[in-house]
Amino acid sequence: MSTEIYFFSGTGNSLVVARTIAGSTGGTAISIPSLLRRRSIATEADSVGLVFPCYLAQLHGIPLIVEAFIKRLESLEGKYVFAVCTYGGFGPVNALPTLKNLSKLIKSAHGELSGAFSLRLPMNNLDYDHIPVPVERNQERIFNNAKPKIAVICGRIAQRKGTRHKLAKSLLGLLLAPMYSMMRRPIEDSLKMAAKIPDDSVLDFRELIPLTDNSIVVGERCDGCGTCAAVCPVGNIELIERRPVWRHHCEMCLACDEWCPRKAIHHWCKSIGKDYHHPEVKIPDMISGTSRRPKP
C-alpha cells in the first residue's frame, strides 16, 4: 500500500504536518506548487492525501492553488482519500466549511473524501483578537496540544479510517451556515479594498484574491536579497532593480512577509510586528517546493 501526501504551505505549518504523516505512514510528501505546470496529474498511490491551510473559510476555505490542483487530478476512484486542513483560529468556523467544500471538489474528481481531519497550529498573522470565542494563544501550548492530535490523525490514516463524529460535525455545519452567509459580504468588501478595485465590481473572490497583492507594501529596509521571490510558492514575485514586484497571482499565503529576513514586507492582512513561521522549517525547505512561473 502506497501513500502520497500533496501539500501547500506558506508558513511551514502544513509542510511539517505533511512530513509527519509521510514519516508515520511510510508515504511521500509532495509539494503542490512543484506540480503547477502539469495540465493533468496522475497518481498510482493507493492512498492520496491533501494537507493545506484553510483561508477565508466563510467564502471557500480552500486555497486557489489547492483547488486548481484537485481539478487536474485524474480519477481518484477506488482510492482512500484524506485531507488535513490546518487552521489558526476556531475549528468549527475555519475547518468545517473548508472540509465540506473540499469533499465536493473530491467528488468532481470521481473520488470520496474518506478522512476529513483538521489541526490547529499558530495563526500566520498571530492576530487572535478578532476571534469571538476564547482560544489558546500561547505558541508552545498550541504546539503541545497539536502533538497528540496529529498522532491520532496519522493512526487513522494508516488504518484507512474515516472521519470521527461525522454526523455531529455535519449538523454543526448546518447550524453555522447562516453565520457564514452574514460574514461573506464584509470579507468580499475587504478583498476589493485590498485589490484596489471599485466597490461595485462584480469580480468574485477567486478573481479578487490574486489582485490583493496590490496592497502589499515594501519598506525601506528591503535590500533586494530576493528571499521573497524565492519562497513565493507560485512564482508571483519578480525583482526589478533589486525591488520586489508582485504579478497578481497572489495566494494570500503571507510567505513573502513571514520569511523576509529584513522584515521589510508588510502584507495588508497581517498586523505589523506579529511575525510567524514554523520553527522547524527553514528558508531552503520553502524554496525547494516552489514553482517558477514564467515571466508574462
User: Residues 166-224: pLDDT tens digits?
Assistant: 655 666 666 766 767 777 888 999 999 999 999 888 899 999 999 999 999 999 999 99
Q: Which residues of the chain form CATH 3.40.50.360?
A: 3-171
What confidence score (pLDDT) does residue 184 get? 83
CATH H superfamily, domain 3-171 = Flavodoxin domain (3.40.50.360)
Mean pLDDT of 21-29: 96
Q: How confident is the model at residue 102 (pLDDT cuts 50, 70, 90)?
A: very high
Pull the grid cell for residue 54.
484553510
Helix, strand and coil in the chain, % to nearest 5: 40, 15, 45
- The CATH code for residues 205-288 is 3.30.70.20
What confidence score (pLDDT) does residue 166 get? 63
Q: Which residues of the chain form CATH 3.30.70.20?
A: 205-288
For residue 55, CA distances in Å to 129, 227, 273 come to: 17, 23, 21
Q: Which residues contact 117 (CB under 8 A, 6 or more apart)?
A: 82, 83, 84, 85, 153, 156, 163
Instruction: Indicate whether 271 pLDDT > 60.
Output: yes
Cβ 225 vs Cβ 261: under 8 Å: yes
What confidence score (pLDDT) does residue 294 get? 38
Mean pLDDT of 243-265: 96
Three-state DSSP at 147 gives helix
pLDDT digits (tens, 9 = 90+) for 256-265: 999 999 999 9
